[in-house]
């Protein structure tokens, strides 16, 4: 394969991947409609975002975040990283549905950054995607995000620049439902992560190595071609029967629950018989987890904020960017909550501990029996009646293919990486169907900003796992004008091009 020197593309500017697209082979792998950068809109700065203000009677939640370099103790390993303040995850933000959030971000990082409010149906100007909705927040600058959070649910936030999500730059966001009956005694927010930063490599190093290793000599067929299946043991993670194919691209030394390694886990203390609502968030960059609470069955109640027909499971898969709420009635004793990384054979697992009584703490490598039983796939949940989109025939159908390969390390949508592919276009008021096909041998969590979509079953989500070669139609109501990112929530794939734009047009 020829070596092509490629000038820094708009994608690299948008996603902050300094120089990575200069790697060999990228241009040679593009197939089909390679459009000009002009289709991507102006390259001029976007300018200041108009501020918004709360209306009379609207609740106001104000917070200040400082993104900065820091050193964190993960419960043994001490790592230099980038964080919101000095914890990982960053401090939980809690509000009520309908509240107005005013959150200022001060950027003390040695890089540009932004914040994206993952899963929220917010106004476009607050969505936090440099190049689409705002200019990146420069080093030393501040930016104030102002928006109404319309829908209750479990969310999180993270930068939308480069691979910064794979640092400590993430935190949970819970929007409470003022009309919910409640019915549980306590709540536990459980944030899962795969960790590499400060262990001798940064996420930028990891991406550079993926691109370098994919460059040149081992062409596996280019975009639309297969993925190298040889590199990982698919029997790992206790989930050999899962349909996810390959295990991900990155080898992580640690997996975390709420910022802790399993040798020094977080402890959740409660009384036997109490009903606890778990809000489980997968903030990992490259890892699908299988979650189980030893000695218990969990009743899944919501996904990505939307209520579902309650479903009791022993264990379930959670993809990057997905959220599941579960209710569990606690037994008496000490129990491990384990998140086993799918298919990854090094780095152990993520674990936290629930304690309601006497007992010795579980070992870091404990494997609850539930992991060996049936593992539920979240997209098979059924929607609660209240979460269904009204029946309607789509006004328009668009095709979306997920493409790419490891060698070269190039990912794309509709035949080309972001910046080279055409935006998906929609008109306000349309019911849009997006017919998605995963053309690769790897699983991708597809995420849409600013909207939620319905699967054929009616299940409402904003992030959904597509197994290798899976095809899935998603429907959405185009009710939020703007320019919205659509991308794989494997952050290395997104940064390597697996992203496009959903753009509202006049007619
Ligand atoms: Cu959490 Cu554009 O994503
Ligand atoms: Cu992907």
Q: Report how far ligand 2's centroid is from the alpha carbon of 212 (Å).
A: 18
pLDDT digits (tens, 9 = 90+) for 138-191: 999 999 999 999 999 999 999 999 999 999 999 999 999 988 877 889 999 999
> What is the predicted pLDDT for the residue at 506?
86
What residues of the chain score a pLDDT lower than 70?
1-51, 215-241, 507
8 A C-beta contact, residue 309 and residue 381: yes
DSSP letter assigned to residue 358: S
Ligand 1, pocket residues at CB < 6 Å: 116, 118, 158, 160, 321, 447, 449, 485, 487, 489
Residue 200, number of CB atoms within 10 A of its CB: 9
Residue 18: per-residue pLDDT: 32
Q: Which ligand is nearest to the CA of 498?
A: 2
Ligand 1, atom 3, residue with closest C-alpha: 118
What is residue 405's predicted lDDT score, i.e. its pLDDT?
Answer: 85
Atom of ligand 1 nearest to the CA of 494: 2
Q: Of ligand 1's atoms, which has the minimum distance to the CA of residue 158?
A: 1
Q: How far is CA 143 from CA 61, 105, 136, 375, in A?
A: 16, 5, 9, 42
pLDDT at 234: 35
Ligand nearest to the CA of 120: 1
* Confidence (pLDDT) at 241: 57
Spacing, Cα 159 to ligand 2 middle (Å): 18
Sequence-ordered list of residues with C-beta below 8 angstroms from that of 100, at least 6 positions apart, any chain = 52, 53, 54, 55, 58, 59, 60, 61, 146, 147, 148
Q: What is the pLDDT of residue 183?
A: 80
State the fold for domain 6-40+386-504: Immunoglobulin-like (2.60.40)
Beta-bridge partner residues of 334: 355
Q: HEC string of 46-69?
A: CCCCCCCCCCCCCCEEEEEEEEEE
Domain definitions of the chain by residue range: 6-40+386-504, 60-180, 189-196+250-382
Task: Give residue 295 CA to ligand 1 midpoint distance, Å.
Answer: 34
Same CATH fold assignment for domains 6-40+386-504 and 60-180 = yes
pLDDT at 320: 98
Could you give phi then psi for residue 116, rounded to 5 degrees?
-110, 135
Contact (CB, 8 A) for 122 and 153:
no
Q: How far is the CA of 267 from the centre of ligand 2 (A)?
A: 33
| Measured CA distances, 3 to 24, 26, 219, 441 (Å) | 5, 9, 12, 26
User: Please, what CATH class does the domain formed by 189-196+250-382 belong to?
Assistant: mainly beta
Whole-number Å distance, alpha carbon 485 to ligand 1 midpoint, is 8
The domain 60-180 is placed in CATH, from the list 2.60.40.420, 3.30.230.10, 3.30.470.20, 3.40.50.1100, at 2.60.40.420
CA–centroid distance, 168 to ligand 1, in Å, is 15
Cβ < 5 A residues, ion ligand 2? 444, 488, 490, 493
């Amino acid at each position: 394969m020829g070596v092509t020197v490629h000038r820094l593309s708009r994608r690299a500017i948008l996603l902050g991947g300094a120089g990575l697209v200069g790697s060999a082979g990228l241009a040679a792998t593009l197939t089909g409609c390679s459009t000009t950068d002009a289709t991507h809109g102006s390259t001029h700065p976007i300018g200041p975002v108009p501020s918004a203000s709360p209306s009379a009677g609207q609740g106001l939640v104000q917070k200040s975040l400082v993104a900065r370099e820091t050193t964190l103790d993960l419960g043994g390993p001490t790592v230099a990283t980038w964080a919101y303040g000095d914890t990982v995850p960053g401090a939980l933000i809690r509000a009520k549905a309908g509240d107005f959030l005013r959150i200022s971000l001060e950027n003390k990082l040695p890089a540009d950054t932004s914040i994206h409010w993952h899963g929220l149906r917010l106004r476009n100007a607050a969505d936090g995607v440099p190049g689409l909705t705002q200019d990146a927040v420069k080093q030393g600058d501040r930016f104030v995000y102002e928006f109404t959070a319309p829908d209750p649910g479990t969310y999180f936030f993270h930068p939308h620049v480069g691979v910064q999500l794979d640092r400590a730059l993430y935190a949970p966001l819970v929007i409470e439902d003022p009309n919910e009956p409640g019915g549980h005694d306590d709540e536990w927010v459980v944030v899962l992560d795969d960790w590499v930063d400060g262990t001798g490599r940064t996420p930028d190093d990891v991406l550079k190595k993926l691109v370098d290793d994919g460059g040149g000599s081992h062409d596996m067929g280019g975009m639309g071609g297969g993925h190298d299946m040889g590199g990982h043991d698919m029997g790992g993670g206790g989930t050999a029967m899962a349909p996810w194919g390959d295990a991900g691209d990155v080898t992580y030394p640690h997996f975390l629950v709420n910022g802790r390694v399993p040798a020094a886990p977080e402890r959740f203390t409660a009384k036997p018989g109490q009903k606890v609502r778990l809000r489980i968030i997968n903030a990992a960059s490259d890892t699908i987890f299988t979650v189980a609470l030893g000695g218990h069955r969990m009743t899944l109640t919501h996904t990505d904020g939307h209520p579902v027909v309650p479903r009791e499971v022993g264990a379930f898969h959670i993809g990057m960017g997905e959220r599941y709420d579960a209710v569990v009635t606690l037994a008496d004793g000490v129990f491990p909550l384990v998140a086993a990384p799918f298919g990854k054979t090094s780095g152990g697992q993520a674990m936290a501990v629930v304690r309601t009584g006497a007992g010795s703490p579980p070992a870091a490598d404990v494997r609850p029996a539930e992991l060996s039983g049936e593992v539920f796939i979240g997209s098979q949940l059924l929607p609660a009646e209240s979460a269904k989109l009204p029946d309607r025939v789509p006004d328009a159908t668009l095709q979306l293919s997920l493409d790419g390969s490891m060698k070269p390390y190039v990912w794309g949508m509709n035949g080309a990486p972001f910046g080279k592919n055409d935006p998906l276009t929609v008109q306000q008021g349309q019911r849009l169907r997006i017919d998605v096909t995963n053309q690769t041998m790897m699983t991708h969590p597809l995420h849409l900003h600013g909207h939620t979509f319905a699967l054929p079953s009616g299940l409402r989500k904003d992030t959904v796992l597509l197994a290798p070669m899976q095809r899935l139609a998603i429907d959405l109501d185009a009710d939020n004008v703007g320019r919205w990112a659509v991308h794989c929530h494997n952050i290395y794939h997104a940064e390597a091009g697996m992203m496009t734009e959903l753009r509202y047009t006049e007619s």
